[in-house]
Amino acid sequence: MSTVLEAARPAIATPRAAPLIAVRELSKVYPTAKGERVQALSHIALDIAEGEFVSLVGPSGCGKTTVLRILAGLIGDYAGSVAVRGRAHCGPSREVGVVFQDANLMPWRTALANVLLPAEVLRLKGQEARAKELLAMVGLAGFERKLPGELSGGMRQRVAIARALLHDPALLLLDEPFGALDAMTRDTMNVELARIAAASRKTVFLITHSIAEAVFLSDRVLVMSPRPGRIVEEIAIDLPKPRGLDIIADRRFADTVVRIRRLLDGEGTAQLPSIAH
């Protein structure tokens, strides 16, 4: 292929620098109500380097949210190893900030008080100024005293992003953060997210089922198979950053989206001559 996109790498990511996150042989089995066992994840390996924007795409139910919940420390019962900066990770960590599909704001708290929630839980003092800065960074200056019920869906998700950044985590985890928004708001939010990720210099791990969103935002896209979830492909996106929405018209963008689409449609790597090299 004569594109600037790198050819397929092996499914295990090759770390460029010392990885911020290193996941090895990660498997997860859920017991069902009938006493059966469902293999949600099977031998996942991935590395995320400091400052990288990595997306994980896959069909519904492939276990991508399980990966995120393990990284967030919300699931502690798994097989394999997860390390943050070389240290074993099992449980919630200050190194991680999470944004979920729903903003999950406390409706009785103002936007500012919601952003300050991590400071209360982690007993950090004097974070008001930083919380206001973060609200300004996500484009909500002047909305500090609004209640979530007075904000639009996109604005609530911006508050959630500011909240996830308050305690200055090294890694920002995003679980389909714009999945509940309408298509136009979603495009706007993606441009904003690219800007926020660059401005805050965070490492970002994004779960999404929108291929275009993943390609638009990421340095690398990991493609997951249906259950049991495995990472079947890793695609580096070498489109120049910062990217504007006009990149959608770029040929290379379209090629990458089609390529991932084919992978997800179950045609399999072996049947794709452009990838099986």
Partner 1 sequence: MPGETTLPAEAAPRLPALPAWLRARPEYLLSPLALLAVLLLWQGVVRSGLVSVYVLPAPSDILAALAEGLQSGLFLRHGLVTLSEAATGFAAAVGAGLLIGALIAEVRFLERAVYPYLVAIQTMPKIALAPLLVVWFGFGPMSKIAVATIIAFFPMLVTTIAGLRDTNQGRLDVLRALGASPWRCFIAAKLPGALPHIFSGLAIAVIFCMTGAIVGEFVGATAGLGYLIVQANARMNIPQVFAILLVLGVIGVLAYAGIQGLRRRVLFWDKS
Q: Cβ distance 71 to 82 under 8 Å?
A: yes
Least distance from partner 1 to the Cβ atom of residue 176, Å: 13
Nearer CB in complex with partner 1: 5/164: 164
Residue 178 binds to partner 1 (criterion: CB under 8 A):
no
Q: Which residues contact 97 (CB under 8 A, 6 or more apart)?
A: 118, 163, 164, 165, 166, 167, 169, 171, 172, 173, 202
Nearer CB in complex with partner 1: 120/128: 120
Q: Classify residue 86 by burial, with Cβ atoms within 10 Å: 0-12, 13-18, 19+.
A: exposed
| Residue whose C-alpha is closest to residue 80's, from 14, 24, 136 | 24
By CB under 8 A, name the one of 19, 58, 63, 118 that touches partner 1.
118
**Residue 186 region by backbone torsions, left for phi larger than 0, else alpha for psi between -120 and 50, else beta:** alpha
Which of the ranges 3-11, 114-122, 176-184, 237-245 carries the binding residues for partner 1, by CB under 8 A? 114-122
* Cα 132 from Cα 122, distance rounded (Å): 18
Least distance from partner 1 to the Cβ atom of residue 97, Å: 8
Q: How many helices (H) and strands (E) does the chain have?
A: 8, 10
| Residues 189-248 contacting partner 1, CB under 8 A | none
Q: Phi/psi at 153 (nearest 5 deg)?
A: -60, -45
Whose tokens are 């136009």? That residue is 184
Nearer CB in complex with partner 1: 8/172: 172
Residue 163 binds to partner 1 (criterion: CB under 8 A):
yes
Least distance from partner 1 to the Cβ atom of residue 111, Å: 12
Nearer CB in complex with partner 1: 64/163: 163
**Residue 139 region by backbone torsions, left for phi larger than 0, else alpha for psi between -120 and 50, else beta:** left
Least distance from partner 1 to the Cβ atom of residue 178, Å: 15
Least distance from partner 1 to the Cβ atom of residue 5, Å: 34
Tokens read off for 75? 């699931």
| Residues 89-108 contacting partner 1, CB under 8 A | 91-94, 96, 98, 100, 102, 104-108
Nearer CB in complex with partner 1: 73/229: 73
Nearer CB in complex with partner 1: 106/245: 106
| Residues 136-155 contacting partner 1, CB under 8 A | 147-149
* Cα 70 from Cα 92, distance rounded (Å): 9
Q: Classify residue 129 by burial, with Cβ atoms within 10 Å: 0-12, 13-18, 19+.
A: exposed
By CB under 8 A, name the one of 120, 128, 182, 267 that touches partner 1.
120
* Cα 203 from Cα 220, distance rounded (Å): 12
By CB under 8 A, name the one of 7, 17, 18, 74 that touches partner 1.
74
Least distance from partner 1 to the Cβ atom of residue 81, Å: 20
- Which residues here bind partner 1, judged by CB under 8 A? 72-74, 91-94, 96, 98, 100, 102, 104-108, 117-118, 120-122, 147-149, 163, 167
